[in-house]
Structures are given as C-alpha cells and as structure tokens.
C-alpha cells in the first residue's frame, strides 16, 4: 500500500483505540487488585498495585496522545469491570503475569499490522511498548516466583509486603520519547 502521509490506516486507528481501552482496563484491573490487598491487610502489595494502576494510565495516555497527534479520532469505549476476588496473593500474581503476557501479544499484533502497512511512524511509536512489556512480564514473574518460594510462610510474605510498599510512582514524560 502506498502511504503518502502520516495518518495511520482506519484499521490501524481502530486497533490503537482498542489498545487504549485495554490499557485503561489494565489500570482498572490493578486498582481492583490493590483494593483486594488492602482488604487483606497487605498494604505493601496494595501500594505496588496502585502504582501499577497509575503506570497503566500513562500507557493509555500514550495511545491517546499518539492517536490525536496523527490527526485521527480517539474513541473512548466502555471499560469492562475487573474481577475483585482472588484465592490468595499467589493467584493475584498468576493473573497479573497472564494478563501482561496477553498485553504483549496485543502489542506484537499491533506491530505486525504496522509493519505490514509500512506505517513506520506507528512502528516507532510501538517500539517503546515492546521494551516495556519485557519489563512488565519480568516484574510480575519476579514477584510470582518470590510468592511461590514464600509458600505458607507469613514471615516471608511480610518481608515481601514491606519491600513492595517502597515502590513509588515516577511520572513519565507524556512524550513517547522518554517512556
């Protein structure tokens, strides 16, 4: 396909809008997990999830800004309600890792589409998310592994809770260059 301007194809715009919605859902999901941990008295885990929810909002805003920058229209779709109950902290992080793996596959599909359409501006935009997903999966896997090791040991769970309580949200430059 010949591309003479920077406006992504209608299909690409539709997929970018869907990903904007998925990032908002991710924020909702982690906020719900934060509520779950608060209810269990695990303030550190609750904090980690709250920061994660804030990060997902910045991901959503990157899509929001990019769509607008191309001259296309942002479509705000309904955000699905997330689950609110889990068996235990391990189950929460199993779902977190599964969720991030799903997001990675969505980003990869977007990249495939952008490459297929020779939409190099969108390829460049998506590159940040490709790297980010490596970190997202690694973070989830890391905590999941430590929860598995802790097993039923409340002392180890408490130590992990204290550590996760130290995570702070670092505001990112909305410009895609800085992530």
How many residues at the interface with ligand FEO, by CB under 6 A? Answer: 7
Residue 161 interacts with ligand FEO (CB under 6 A): yes or no = no
Smallest separation (angstroms) from ligand FEO to the CB of 19: 9
| Minimum distance from residue 167 beta carbon to ligand FEO (Å) | 14
* CA 21/CA 29 separation, integer angstroms: 12
User: Which is closer to ligand FEO, CB of 50 or CB of 59?
Assistant: 59
Does 15 interact with ligand FEO (rule: CB under 6 A)? no
Of the residues 15, 100, 119, 161, which one makes contact with ligand FEO according to CB under 6 A: 100
Nearest CB to ligand FEO, comparing residues 100 and 119:
100
* CA torsion angle 88 94 95 98 (round to 10): 180
Instruction: Give the three-class secondary structure for 126.
Output: helix
Provide the CB-side half-sphere exposure for 34 (13 A, CA): 17
Q: How far apart are CA 18 and CA 37, in angstroms?
A: 29
Angle at CA of residue 56, ends 111 and 121, nearest 5°: 30
Site for ligand FEO in 118-147 (CB under 6 A): 136
Residue 26 binds ligand FEO, judged by CB under 6 A: yes
**Closest approach of ligand FEO to the CB of residue 155, in Å:** 30
Contact yes or no for 75/17 (Cβ under 8 A): yes
Q: Give the residues lining the site for ligand FEO (CB under 6 A).
A: 23, 26, 56, 59, 100, 103, 136
């Amino acid at each position: 396909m010949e591309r003479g301007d920077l406006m992504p194809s209608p299909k690409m715009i539709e997929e970018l809008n869907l990903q904007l919605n998925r990032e908002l859902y991710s924020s909702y999901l982690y906020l719900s997990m934060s509520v779950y941990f608060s209810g269990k008295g695990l303030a550190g885990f609750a904090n980690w999830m709250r920061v994660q929810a804030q990060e997902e909002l910045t991901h959503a805003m990157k899509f929001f800004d990019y769509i607008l920058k191309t001259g296309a229209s942002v479509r705000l779709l309904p955000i699905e309600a997330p689950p609110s109950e889990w068996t235990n902290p391990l189950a929460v992080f199993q779902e977190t890792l599964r969720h991030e793996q799903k997001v990675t596959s969505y980003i990869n599909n977007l990249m495939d589409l952008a490459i297929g359409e020779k939409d190099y501006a969108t390829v460049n935009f998506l590159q940040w998310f490709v790297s980010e997903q490596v970190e997202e999966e690694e973070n989830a896997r890391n905590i999941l592994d430590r929860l598995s090791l802790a097993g039923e040991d409340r002392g180890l769970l408490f130590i992990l809770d204290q550590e996760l309580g130290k995570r702070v949200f670092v505001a990112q430059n909305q410009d895609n260059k800085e992530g």
